[in-house]
Amino acid sequence: MAKEPMKLVANNKKAYHDYFIEEKYETGICLHGTEVKSLRMGKCSVKEAFIRIEKGEVFIYGMHISPYEKGNIFNKDPLRVRKLLLHKQEINKLAGKLAEKGYTLVPLQVYFKDGRAKVEIGLAKGKKLYDKRQDIAKKDQRRETERDFKIRNL
């Protein structure tokens, strides 16, 4: 029986622009039935989402999962707080890192792996304005070289 490939639901490109991602973790997420169906249809956004650790548990705030059309009374609030599933030692390690100045947790992507909804979170450090400018300059430089290469090869 072949393994089901990873199916990407939502991606957070803004996180890579605003932060240096130092470590990545794969977490499970507690969802209700209609939320899973909505996720399978690709109706999810993590652009404004953020993650907090409270009382030894990890929660994601601001993750928007659109209500399922055929869900009627079973639909939950699209912006409700959802619990992320991590091992206790991983949570303790992250809590220690977050106590340091400048670190935060951001969701990077939401996907299905082997039929289960997963959220990839990143331990991130904020970028300064000049760092963002350097990244934009590198991107423009790479785009220019690709364009020149394409013109020469025609």
Residue with tokens 């639901």: 9
* Structural domain range at position 15: 7-127
In angstroms and rounded to an integer, the radius of gyration of the C-alpha atoms of the chain is: 19
User: pLDDT-based confidence at 4, cuts 50/70/90?
Assistant: low
CB atoms within 10 A of CB 108: 21
Which CATH number goes with the domain that contains 47? 2.40.280.10
Instruction: Give domain status of residue 147, yes or no.
Output: no
Q: Tell me the C-alpha distance between 61 and 48, whole Å.
A: 9
**pLDDT > 70 fraction of the chain, expressed in percent and rounded:** 95
What pLDDT digit, counting tens, does each position of 106-121 carry?
898 888 888 888 889 8
Q: State the pTM of this model.
A: 0.74
Instruction: Give domain status of residue 59, yes or no.
Output: yes
CB neighbour class for 125 (10 Å; exposed up to 12, middle 13-18, buried from 19): middle
Instruction: Give domain status of residue 153, yes or no.
Output: no
Long-range pairs for 128-136: beta carbons < 8 A, 24 or more residues apart? 131/20, 132/17, 132/18, 135/17
First to last CA, the chain: 44
Structural domain total, the chain: 1
User: pLDDT-based confidence at 87, cuts 50/70/90?
Assistant: very high
